Homo-oligomer: A and B are copies of this chain.
Amino acid sequence: MGDLKISPLAPKVSPQLPALNGVRMATAQAGIKYKDRTDLLVMVFDQPTSVAGVFTKSKCSSAPVDWCRKALAGGKPARALVVNAGNANAFTGARGDEATAITAKAMADACGCAEGEVYLASTGVIGEPLDADQFAPLLSGLVADSKGDCWQQAAEAIMTTDTYPKLATSTFDLAGRSVTISGIAKGSGMIAPDMATMLSFVVTDAAIESDVLQSLLSELVEGTFNSITVDSDTSTSDTLMMFATGAAGNGPVEGDALGAFKERLREVLHELSMQIVRDGEGATKEVEVCVKGAENDGAAKRIALSIANSPLVKTAVAGEDANWGRVVMAVGKAGEAADRDNLAVWFGDIRVAVAGERDPDYSEDAASEIMRRDEIKITADVGIGSGEARVWTCDLTKEYVAINGDYRS
């Protein structure tokens, strides 16, 4: 598909992530689909490591997603993670399950652990058989070469149509020790709740039990990865996994400490999910959609997603056209209660519509000035109740069509 131009919304500076005790990583060029770039990542945990995960709600989930769900249910700590880019190993039938078994076996042998302690993820084309024999022999060498300070390379190895690697980190005091939460993500298209990660892997050196980790992750995903959409299309492979190595040796994470950890984790997940939106295929604008005044928060989120997924709203944003009528259309089609004659719409802090019609003070120039920005906030008050929601998306450009019109070749 040729070289992609780096998103104009890419971070100016890629964050430097510190090495994190208890995890080592390595990447390789396995030639699964791409040439002259890395496409295989391993993470190795020296000690049995707490683990939690949230996965796609697709009814056609990929073989690695099925594998991870089963491994998580086994309740064992994690010892390793293997991720490949270029092939999703999704809708690959019995051969897909064989590919996960071959990969897990090779990685378990390399790490000296059980297969059920190995987690797997694959991203790329759906429906192409994944030849695990092509890269499984590389795993023992990768484990041997793995080191702790190659987050940047890790983030690069899992990219598909991403135009930049996605990383976030936070270091803070927790229960008597300095701990770090670091994570990587990939995703650019086929991004929609639930959940819109494509792939994200977060590691902390904090000591924290798997079940606590799981409940934090399940809760925090709602306002982060489950509140972004690029194109309303949900991947078969969405995987967010979190590992806690415990190497920091902190005390029990409960009470205030738990609250502090949760807030830092939320920030890391938010930062990663925003990087996905800002790398949405063909994106030139980041769009934040706020809905208030809905019947309840769930209704607000459905209205917000109706706006954020509307091709007509997204093309208007791409065209820097302050076409707020399309926001009204998207509120109307959401199917949730809305009081047309009490509806108000803002672009940025400019109210463009109020009480069911154009704002009396409407200024096309003022609205257009907002539309020329890189980051656009659209707010709709639907005038019914006190439900609120916030979601993030990007615009829909010709480049999205170009990228996706010929992805496989």
A90 and B341 CA atoms in complex are apart in Å by: 11
Residues of chain B with a CB closer than 8 A to A319's CB: 404-407
The SS class assigned to the A binding surface is loop
A338 at the interface (CB under 8 A from B): yes
A310 at the interface (CB under 8 A from B): yes
- CB–CB A233/B311 < 8 A: yes
- CB–CB B192/A404 < 8 A: no
A128 and B357 CA atoms in complex are apart in Å by: 8
Q: CB-nearest residue of chain B relative to A341? A: B93
A402 and B311 CA atoms in complex are apart in Å by: 12
A197 at the interface (CB under 8 A from B): no
- CB–CB B356/A93 < 8 A: yes
- CB–CB A318/B401 < 8 A: yes
A235 at the interface (CB under 8 A from B): yes
A355 at the interface (CB under 8 A from B): yes
- Which 10 residue pairs spanning A and B have beta carbons closest together? A319-B405, A126-B325, A93-B357, A60-B332, A58-B332, A234-B333, A315-B404, A127-B325, A398-B398, A93-B356
- In the assembled complex, 16 residue pairs joining A and B whose CB atoms fall closer than 8 Å, in A order, are A60-B331, A60-B332, A60-B340, A60-B343, A94-B357, A125-B323, A126-B329, A127-B324, A127-B325, A127-B353, A127-B358, A192-B333, A232-B310, A235-B329, A312-B404, A321-B405
- Chain A residues within CB distance 8 Å of chain B: 56-61, 88, 90-96, 125-129, 189-190, 192, 231-236, 309-312, 315-316, 318-319, 321, 323-326, 328-338, 340-341, 343, 353, 355-358, 396-398, 400-402, 404-409
